Homo-oligomer: A and B are copies of this chain.
Amino acid sequence: MPCEQRQIVLGELPQGALRPEHFTLRQGPVPSPRKGQILVRTVLLSIDPANRAWMNGPTYRPQLVAGDVMAGYALAEVVHPGDSGLEAGSVVFCDTGWQEYAAIPADAAVPVPVQSALTHHLSALGLTGMTAYFGLLKIGRPEAGETVVISAAAGATGSVAGQIARIKGMRVVGIASSREKRRVLEEDLGFAATVSHRSENFADDLGAACPHGIDVYFDNVGGSVLNSCMRLLNEGGRVVCCGSVSTLDRPGPPCDPELVPMKIITHRLRVEGFIVLDYLSEWTDAGAEMAGWIADGELRVLEEVIDGLDRAPDALIGLLAGQNLGKRMVRVGPDPGEKSMR
């Protein structure tokens, strides 16, 4: 057990685009857990657009403060369980922050019964997979035969949401930028069509890909893509407000008053936001259904594991630029039980 550890500090809150200079790598002490806390070792850091959103203001958590260790969810190994009842060596999901060890309140650690590759518990079976599952099924409530459009479709959440929609019998159209992403979506994940939002003819392309309009739009990006999708929404359409990555680094184009609220009224739209943590009590059942689809080969898991805590800032900055294909995570330490193999 070392006395010192590496930590990445958010040195400055970004005003516009997030850059590497906003972060500092430093040596800090390994904390001693206080009463009610446990000590955990970070294994895999989850890299999410939400990391960036937390810098902009209070969300479902207080705004990040410059000078603190960067916040972030992770899979971690319990080192000192204290009197929590957790087992040493077991895996928990918690906000360790971007550091090798963290002392966290025992009741903020969610035990993870590992039943698949550990990485799956951050991707399809973890926060982003659950986000896709509950966002699509509880908020979007699509019906078989409906047209579902997903933005950031090759991302961690989008790639899973699109496949769940396909499995449940909807026609799925993905919005993604690169040719390679679109190939993977169409050829490997079974999307019916894909459209690039970087095309000059994006609105027309989207219309052509959705000849019967849009019934459910699963929005990961906000901004002008949200506007374009709202124009095509059918009566009774639903917008699942999941993320707004296009507006995190800079304000997006404001939405047209024709869309909010006139289109919402005339077309009886429902535009609804959600936070996946609200559904924690249902994660076990959802995870079992998802694990079944993975085992059957129905649901393919796209993951990118980047090695080394020091690469976390670049991993996040690249994610915000849309460089990832599937769920991005950073390996901070070996899986539990693999330490001796290093």
- Whether A257 pairs with B244 at a CB distance below 8 angstroms is yes
CB of A336 within 8 A of chain B? no
Q: Is residue A100 contacting chain B, with contact meaning CB distance below 8 A?
A: no
The CA of A15 and the CA of B258, in the complex, are separated in Å by 15
Report if A260-B266 is in contact (Cβ < 8 Å); known contacts: A271-B272, A272-B271.
no
Bound-state CA distance A237–B205 (Å) is 35
B273 near A272: Cβ-Cβ < 8 Å:
no
What number of copies of this chain does the assembly contain? 2
A84 contacts the other chain (CB 8 A): no
Of A65-73, A118-126, A246-254, A318-326, the one touching chain B: A246-254
Report chain B residues within 8 Å CB of A261.
219, 222, 226, 239, 241, 244, 271, 273
Q: Nearest CB to that of A139 among chain B residues?
A: B270
Residues of B within 8 A of A278 (CB): 268
State whether the Cβ of A213 lies closer than 8 Å to any Cβ in chain B. no
Contacts of A273 in B (CB 8 A): 261, 263-270
State in angstroms the CA–CA spacing of A273 and B264 once bound together.
5
Let me know if A262 is at the binding interface, CB within 8 A. yes
Report yes or no: A253 in contact with B257, Cβ–Cβ below 8 A: yes
Question: Per-residue CB proximity of A86-115 to B under 8 Å, as 1/0?
Answer: 000000000000000000000000000000
Tell me if B262 and A244 are in contact (CB < 8 A). Answer: yes
Residues of B close to A271: CB separation below 8 A:
260-261, 264, 270-272
Answer whether residue A243 sits at the interface, using C-beta atoms and an 8 A cutoff. Answer: yes
* A: interface residue count bin: 35 or more
Pair A262/B60 contact, Cβ less than 8 Å? no
Q: Are A275 and B270 in contact (CB under 8 A)?
A: no
Q: Which of B53, B270, B275 contacts A262 (CB 8 A)?
A: B53
A239 cross-chain contacts in B, Cβ below 8 A: 261
Are the C-beta atoms of A247 and B262 separated by less than 8 Å? yes
B264 touches A272 (CB 8 A): yes
Within 8 A of B (CB), among A264-319: 264-275, 278
Min CB distance A235 to B, Å, is: 8
A256 to chain B: which residues have CB within 8 Å? 254
Q: Is the CB of A270 within 8 A of B268?
A: no
A59 interface hit (Cβ, 8 Å)? yes
Bound-state CA distance A243–B257 (Å) is 12
Task: Assess the B242–A265 pair: CB atoms within 8 A.
Answer: yes
Question: Which residues of B lie under 8 Å from residue A252 when comparing CB positions?
Answer: 257
Determine if A255 is an interface residue (Cβ-Cβ < 8 Å): yes
Please give me the 10 A-B residue pairs with the lowest Cβ-Cβ distance, nearest first: A254-B254, A264-B273, A265-B273, A59-B266, A271-B271, A241-B261, A252-B257, A270-B272, A241-B264, A247-B257
Q: Can you sample 5 A-B contacts with CB below 8 Å?
A: A242-B265, A243-B265, A254-B257, A267-B273, A271-B271
- Known A247-B257, A265-B274; further 4 A-B contacts with Cβ < 8 A: A251-B258, A260-B260, A264-B271, A265-B275
